[in-house]
Amino acid sequence: MTAHSPNPSEGPTMTVVTAVQAAAHSAIQLAKVSGSDRSRALRAMAQTLRERQDDILEANTLDLETSHEMAMPDLILDWLKLTPERIQTAVQILQKLSDLSDPIQQVISTRYPVENCQSYAQHTPLGVIALVYEAIPELAAIAAGLCLRTGNSLVLKGGNEASHSNQAIAAALQAALEEVGLPTSCVTHLASEQGNSIRDLVTQDAWINLVIPYGRPSLVQQVVRQATAPVLRTAIGNCYLYWSASGNLEMVRRVIVESHRREPDAVNAIEKVLVHTKQNPAALTTLWSHLREQGFRLKGDEALVAEFPELEPTAPEEWGQSALDKVVIFKWVDSLATAITWINHYSSGHADCLITESYRESRQFAIGVTSAAVYINASPQFTRNPKRARDIALGMSSQKGQRRGMIGLETLTTLKQVIQGSGD
């Protein structure tokens, strides 16, 4: 970590500089804290969230009222709305994380060719994580849990639409840290009303080790453009499904519907379906009837609309965009190879599906699609509260490189090589 202090007069406000410096110093302290003490802090966070639930919901009501007055999109209102169930999910995640063994004490054997020495690799914290997020207030608590479990400090920069909710949740998390004797700057909240911009935060590469933007593609792209600190891109929606000639109709229907049912954000929602030209037209009309009953809006490419006028026509730019709504767009394709090429070009690249009865097709799809995850005859389900605590994830990344796929505990750590000799 760079030791110099940036000059506030040359850029961001002192508020941001002071906050990220404090977070960096806390990260150094936190890395030395035992796993059992961090577990105790996680349990305290869960308890404080539970105790302050009414205060958090009251703050959220203020945000919702303001957002309604400002005519915010329905998507953002859905993300923004807190319920006792959503808060309870965050509480359960914190409790599950508290029960885990310390991930930063895990040792991995390595082959490092140093004569007369033993070598191993150990998971270590990254340092300071910055989360820039849109609505979804409970995301702050989940991110704080993942960061504390992995020994990282967290800086939160939420959207204006959730300012009261974010403040209430951050205050609860900091109260829990203070209760167990950890620095409150292990979790730092940058209040929107202080005038700190996203650019002010994501250019603090002297102190921030990773920035995670979470929200609509426009937010992610803004952070990527402005950041000088490393960025881990996240992806939501615009997942593709290829319906093979041998694919089962009922399986296709179930996979599409289930992918849109995750709360509050359907991370892996299937929004595009590529249909083999040999698929039975009657199966298509049956599928569309079921989807319309579930409230889906259906669109098609030019060839499909010509054959099925009940479909809405789609614009060319929509193939690479996420609707983040109950919209599914269909397209004819003449082969698996065509489908793979189309998916690799247009999908968001984090989760794409195949429905087929052909083993050969399943292998070709798994090898050919370059996305972070491929699902074969399975729904691309995503939940932040899975049965196994080690599977808890903040979201999905389509970024190619080391940190790809589920953004979980291992994503927030790095490896340190240790080579131990006898002085020879």
Alpha-carbon gap, residue 358 to 244, rounded angstroms: 9
Better-predicted residue by pLDDT, 9 or 251: 251
Task: Name the pLDDT band for 367 (thresholds 50, 70, 90).
Answer: very high
CATH 3.40.605.10 domain extents, the chain: 8-234+407-420
- Under the banding of pLDDT at 50, 70 and 90, the label for residue 51 is very high
Q: Considering the entire predicted model, what is its pTM? A: 0.90
397-407 pLDDT per residue, tens: 988 876 888 99
**pLDDT at residue 345 tops 90:** yes
- Give the whole-number percent of the chain exceeding pLDDT 90: 78
Q: How far, in Å, CA of 274 to CA of 242, rounded?
A: 5
| Domain 8-234+407-420 fold | Aldehyde Dehydrogenase; Chain A, domain 1 (3.40.605)
Mean pLDDT in residue range 194-221: 91
Residue 14 has pLDDT above 70, yes or no: no
* N-to-C CA span, the chain: 31
The pLDDT value given to residue 354: 98
In 3D space, the residue among 108, 109, 112 whose CA is nearest the CA of residue 123 turns out to be 108
User: Can you tell me whether residue 120 is helix, strand or coil?
Assistant: strand
Strand 107-109 relative to strand 153-158, pairing: unpaired
Fold of the domain spanning 239-376: Aldehyde Dehydrogenase; Chain A, domain 2 (3.40.309)
pLDDT level of residue 386 (50, 70, 90 thresholds): confident
User: What is the tens place of the pLDDT at every residue in 230-249?
Assistant: 999 999 999 999 999 999 99
Q: Considering the chain, tell me which residue range(s) the CATH 3.40.309.10 domain(s) occupy.
A: 239-376
Residue of 335, 386, 322, 382 whose CA lies nearest to 361: 335
Q: What is the DSSP letter of 161?
A: G
Lookup: tokens for 228: 């000088």
